[in-house]
Amino acid sequence: MKPIILLYHLPEGERLAKIKRALFPLGMKLRAVKKEEYLEPVGYLAGVKELVSCGEVYTGDDFEKEMMVMAGLTSRQVDMVILALRKTGAGRIDYKAVLTPTNQGWNALTLYGELAKEHAKMNR
């Protein structure tokens, strides 16, 4: 799988432009996921060939926080992404995940819920 970063709840604007500028030199593909795609398996959106579209369109509310899913990256590349965001002033994305065999079949709503729980535990 080619390295790709999925970005959720990041509308077009200055913040997304900063993130793109930060990550462009790393040579990773970026994909801003549309709210309508939130029911699709995260792995499907990242290009996992074994996963197929759910065929459903999400019509609910958008997330409160931004979420980033990194797929096909080495641990060194993950560190480089986080450092690049920090160095360029693109800001922090609190809800971050690496695509795993466990979460690749989850949709964005499930993953966001799990990340929200983890974030709450870590920031008590």
Tokens standing for residue 21: 């500028």
pLDDT tens digits, 93-110: 999 999 999 999 999 999
Q: Which of 94, 105, 99, 110 is nearest to 28 (CA)?
A: 99
Residue 14 has pLDDT above 90, yes or no: no
> Which residues is 70 bridged to in the sheet?
5, 98
Question: Residue 4's pLDDT band (boundaries 50, 70, 90)?
Answer: very high
Residues 6 or more apart from 85 whose CB is under 8 A from it?
A: 19, 22, 23, 91, 92, 93
Residue 112 has pLDDT above 80, yes or no: yes
pLDDT tens digits, 23-44: 888 988 999 999 999 999 999 9
**Side-chain-side CA neighbours of residue 14 (13 Å):** 3
Give the predicted TM-score (pTM) of the model.
0.92
pLDDT tens digits, 55-73: 999 999 999 999 999 999 9
> Which of 46-50, 87-91, 107-111 shows the lowest mean pLDDT across its residues?
87-91
State the pLDDT at residue 91. 82
75, containing H or E segment = helix 75-87
Question: Residue 8's pLDDT band (boundaries 50, 70, 90)?
Answer: very high
Q: For the chain, what is the mean pLDDT?
A: 93
Tokens standing for residue 4: 């790709």
Alpha-carbon gap, residue 92 to 61, rounded angstroms: 22
Q: Which of 12, 18, 24 is nearest to 93 (CA)?
A: 18
